[in-house]
Amino acid sequence: MIAIGCDHAGCEMKRIIIETLSEKGWDFCDLGCNGEACDYPFIAEKVCTEIISGRCDMGILICGTGIGMSMAANKINGIRAAVCGDSFSAKYTRLHNNANVICLGARTIGCGLAVELADIFLNTNFEGGRHQRRIDMITNLEKKG
């Protein structure tokens, strides 16, 4: 199950991602918003809570640039969120960084590219190995914070 949420800037992109990737077999937990004005940290927390609890495996967050959502999500222990605007970043943030949330900018990329990036992100597995040591270092930084 994929947790997905957006602020008011990302409603159309969220709808298109859910429609397109549902056709490929992905199940989504839509955590809003649905057009009403809202604050992105609230949505980021809702999505990340679903991941940390284990109810969802990964997340997709959308705001105007993806940056605000990323900043908010990365304040939550256990979340590794990355803003992606290209396919290389979407692939390698999973492959090497084991990111569990992709953040997309509704005002910086088009919906077609957003679907492509989300698809790459969701279909790429963590490589592990030498990269796990760095993930462990990130986890240790969280414990210090």
pLDDT in tens for each of the 145 residues of the chain? 999 999 999 999 999 999 999 999 999 999 999 999 999 999 999 999 999 999 999 999 999 999 999 999 999 999 999 999 999 999 999 999 999 999 999 999 999 999 999 999 999 999 999 999 999 999 999 999 7
Told to judge if 33 belongs to the known catalytic residues of this protein, a careful annotator would answer no
Q: Note the pLDDT of residue 136.
A: 97
Told to judge if 63 belongs to the known catalytic residues of this protein, a careful annotator would answer yes
If one counts the domains in the chain, the total is 1
Distance CA 14, CA 111 (A): 9
Query: Is 60:118 a contact under the CB 8 Å cutoff?
Result: yes
Q: How far is CA 132 from each of CA 48, 57, 68, 83, rounded to the nearest angstrom?
A: 21, 18, 27, 21
The SS3 assignment for 73 reads helix
Catalytic residue among 11, 38, 56, 63: 63
Q: Note the pLDDT of residue 40.
A: 97
Q: Note the pLDDT of residue 26.
A: 98
CATH number at residue 130: 3.40.1400.10
> Residue 125's domain spans which residues?
2-144
pTM of the model: 0.98
Query: Is 59:101 a contact under the CB 8 Å cutoff?
Result: yes
Q: Note the pLDDT of residue 145.
A: 74
